[in-house]
Structure 1
Amino acid sequence: MPALLRYPSVDELGVRAAALVARRPRDARLRQVGTSRAGLPLWLLSVGHGSRQALIVAGPHSNEPVGGATALRLAERTLADPRLCDGADVTWNLLLCLDPDGSRRNEGWLPGPYTLGHYFRNFFRPGFLEQPEWLPDGADGAALPETRALLGLQDELRPFFQCSLHGVDVGGGFVELTRDLPGLAPRLAHTAARLGIPLELGPYDTLYWPTLGPAVYRIPPPRHGDLAAAITEAAVESTWFHPHQYGTVTAVVEAPMWGVAAVADGTAPADAEGVLRSVSRTLRRDTELLEGLLARIRPTLDTVPDADRLLAPVDDYLLVCPGLADSWDPDTEPDADGGARTLPPLNTARLTALRISARRIALRTAGLLHQLVTVAGHDPSGATADLDRLIDEWCADYHDGHGARWIPVARQVEYQARVVLAAFELAQRRVPGARPGARPIDAPPARAEVPFE
């Protein structure tokens, strides 16, 4: 098989899965388990005939395409090594893309070139309420057909192991777990070191979450809160926790696209409060700029088809920015009701993650606004030039200020696949009477299905 030089599209995932089934019809099956809001099929590729079920969910966030390629990589790996499948009494169920509608909207950058400017100008991720892993109204109130399909699959399979495949646009790799898997942290570190992947020692996503080991974090149980808290913390009801009732352990595996070495730096910073003040001040300034641009653009969008889909995430981002800036600013007075939380101890890695996150939310907003103007086909607001300038300036900060470097697609996929297999092997040990089947994480595969560039 030729080197994986780019991410596969939604259509290519289906075609490649069908080809795999045609090649191995006794060992692999492909079935449709649902339909997206736009009528696209949700495909489940199942490999093996074991009595215990593993569920792998790719593409839950539409701007994170590595998971689809990883799912195909895992299918090839399990077919090549019976010890991972029938030998372990396991069937692997791989949902190739949970949000095909959103993934289609990212196809402007998916084939490359892989530059930050090209990515953010073509970036799409739906608003929080349209992201299919979240259950803001609980499982019984799930509105999206993609969400209902995944919930149905979880209830049907009752998997002992579930893995959600995510990507980090700028930063490093890490893993989030609903149950501890002792031994995962050293395996993760070994894999990352071999493949040159930086590990995040303090991701923004896990700022207030328990640490189970370097770059491994415990997802807190769902709790009720307002929308802003849900968007920024993701500790809400989700499909990560829905199969908890069946004893499932869920692993969320994050693989970076552009790596930043400083997210792995656990040293003490020279002036943490100074950095926090700078980050908060910058985020407030960027928010004001973006709110001004949105005010100029919004009146011109009445005739733009589907503008609401692009405006929803813009409104989400601008909603949370002021609260984020206040929560990070050491000079902000605590809430009158004592609701403000104290930041955890801040090393260089955590401060770097906060700087990257503040820049990310601004760049995503600017990229979506740029698309709105582009789709409109005219720019009476004159915002295009300002947006181009901001996107170029902020992408340069990632390159020059953070040393962000592109990680080839094949390496992203290999990293994510190896981490999934490590988590899978450890999850097996939690199951009474399970047959040992998975090879050690870094043993060479039976054949190199996805060689590096």
Structure 2
Amino acid sequence: MPFPSLAELDAGDVPADGFPTVEELHVDLMELCRAHPDRITASVIGHSRLGEPIDLFTVAGGARTVVVAGGVHPNEPIGFRTIQHLARLLISQPDAYGFDATWHLVACIDPDGTRLNEQWFPAPLRRDDYYRGFYRPAPDEQVEWSFPFSHRGFGFDAPIPETSALMELFDRVAPDVFVGLHNGEFGGVYFYTNERDGALAGELSTIPAQFGLPLDVGEPEMPDLDVLADAVFRAPLTREQIDRRIARGLDDGPQAGGAGTADYLERFGTTTMIAELPYWVHPDAADLTDAGVSYREVIAAKAAALDELHELMGGILHAVRGALTIDSPFRRASAAFAVGMGAVAAAERARIASAETDRPATVAEVFGNTEAVRTFRLRFAGILRRALDAEVHAGTAAPVVRTALAELTARWEEWLAADPHAGLAPVRLNALVGVQLAALFATVRHRVVRSVA
């Protein structure tokens, strides 16, 4: 099957910019069910921590099963548009796109977290709006990272209700393919899959260019990933990450939280795939030329900057300890990410002395590491701002909280003003949806071919 073309996506209901809210997504897909009751049905697989129903939309087909989940991280709404268009493709062209499979679409697995990001969903998408309204849960409150596991003395057994709902769905349908609709933020496109097949990895690597988007060949999200093709990595399992951290002398295991979907789905032999897509692109993400600086220097600068962020956030949280009265998700996330920044900095410092860092850095690596620092500052210090601001707006803020908010806001605004990419226009959504759909269909096709062979 060919890639979905830009023309096809433009002909569909894919706007150039902007994302649906939780309510808008629900209404749209329920209307689709009412219009095509013989093709798509709705059910509820569970409820969120705050009692929000978690919708499942099923397009019946053959014996194979595909599960697709949106909103796995609530600051990643590109998948909402992808699910809207995917449902329409499955209804209107089942022979072309259905692969003789039954499709289970979880439109938004974390409605509570998504609602805390909705202020930046309307078009046009601007970087300052995004960071001002950014929210990401603490790792143990993220659907992707709250699956149970136990390995080498480390473990987690407190899945949140949203994760439990997804686990129960997995147990019921034993998916052949699972795609969690994630997205990155800035730079280029990259992928994860648990399949080692070179043909699938090679195909995934070629998809972004079909839609005019660059690959991200700079710094990966974590060291020691298995590279399957350009910007395509094998999805690491939690036990493998623990083993690698211990091997590097970092005996604290994962930063926090539990295992991911790939870990849980291993029991079913499920093929998993994640396409990480940027809201904004930059050519440096794909530039492999020598940057004129050593990779060791780049990593050292990143570690120092993240240590500084760790100390800043930790110092503020210590100063207001006992004065905070609201157990908000912002407060819990701030505390987790303050510790997390210190853990990331320690992991980077552990790499500095290794022989692998004694080489020139590429432009893509400099870009990726520099932007990681900028992103973490604006994301996580921004969440702490929202935690302190919640106290002020509730009328419960002690003077120490007001002082901390004013000082943090001044520092945060300096970081935001220093963003050299503030005026970048976002990528057209039809291209982003096209990449996710093409990668999804390539993965399903690979699984079908493998099962037939």
Match 2:229 to one of 196, 213, 226: 213
Residue by residue, what CA displacement relative to the aligned partner does 1:49-73 show, whole Å, maximum 9, x if unpaired?
A: 2111111111111111111221111
Q: Is the 8 A contact 1:142 1:148 kept in 2?
A: no
How far apart are residue 343 of structure 1 and its match?
5.7
Alignment match, 1:153: 169
Q: Structure 2: state its 5+ residue gaps.
A: 1-11, 151-155, 243-249
One-letter amino acid matched to 2:370: R
- Stretches of structure 1 that go unaligned for 5 or more consecutive residues are 335-340, 434-453
CA distance in 1, matches of 2:284, 2:388: 35
Structure-2 change in CA distance of 1:84 and 1:178 (3 Å):
same
User: How many angstroms apart in 1 are the aligned matches of 2:351 and 2:318?
Assistant: 29
Change (3 A) 1:296 1:152: same
Of 284, 289, 295, 1:267 maps to 289
1:183-231 Cα distance to aligned partner (Å, 9 max, x none): 3344334431232323221443243210000111002333174896424
CA, structure 1 residues 329+227, in 2 after alignment: closer, same or farther (shift >3 Å)? closer
Provide the residue aligned with 2:5 in structure 1: none
What SS does the aligned partner of 1:410 have?
A: helix
Q: Percent identity?
A: 28
1:167 aligns with 2:183: yes
How far is the alpha carbon of 1:412 from its aligned partner?
2.3
Say whether residues 1:312 and 2:332 are aligned partners: yes
The alpha-carbon distance between structure 1 residues 367 and 427, as it changes in their structure 2 partners (threshold 3 A), is same
Q: Which residue does 1:123 correspond to in 2?
A: 134
Moved more, 249-258 or 282-291: 282-291
**Could you tell me how far 1:279 is from its partner in structure 2?**
2.2
Aligned to 1:289: 312
Q: Does residue 34 of structure 2 align to residue 19 of structure 1?
A: no
8 Å contact kept, 1:60–1:133: yes
The corresponding residue for 1:386 is 407
Pair 1:76–1:2, CA change in 2 (3 A): closer
Structure 2 CA distance for partners of 1:372 and 1:299, relative to 1, 3 Å: same
RMSD, matched Cα: 2.9
How far the C-alpha of 1:418 sits from its partner, in A, is: 2.1
Following superposition, the deviation at residue 142 of structure 1 comes to 4.5
Aligned residues: 420
Letter in 2 for 1:382: T
Instruction: Give the letter aligned to residue 379 of structure 2.
Output: R
Change (3 A) 1:64 1:344: farther
Q: Tell whether 2:444 aligns with 1:424.
A: yes
The yes-or-no answer on 1:76 pairing with 2:88 is yes
Residue 372 in 1 paired to residue 387 in 2? yes
Q: 1:87-98 counterparts in 2 under 5 A?
A: 88-98=99-109
**1:48, 1:183 → 2: CA distance?**
29
- 2:286 corresponds to which letter in structure 1? A
Counterparts in 2 of 1:394 and 1:186: CA distance versus 1, 3 Å: farther
Q: Normalising by the residue count of structure 2, what TM-score does the alignment of the two structures yield?
A: 0.83
> How many Å apart are 1:344 and its aligned residue?
9.9
Post-superposition Cα deviations, 1:335-379, rounded to whole Å, max 9, x if no partner, equal xxxxxx966975332332222222222222221122123222266
Corresponding letter in the other structure for 1:171: G
Equivalent residue number for residue 21 of structure 2: 9
Q: CA–CA distance in 2 between the matches of 1:131 and 1:3?
A: 28
CA distance in 1, matches of 2:195, 2:358: 22
In the alignment, the residues of structure 2 paired with residue 231 and residue 169 of structure 1 have an alpha-carbon distance, to the nearest angstrom, of: 21
Q: After superposition, what is the alpha-carbon deviation per residue over 1:302-323, rounded to whole angstroms, capped at 9, x for unaligned?
A: 2x3x33x212221222213233
Aligned to 1:46: 58
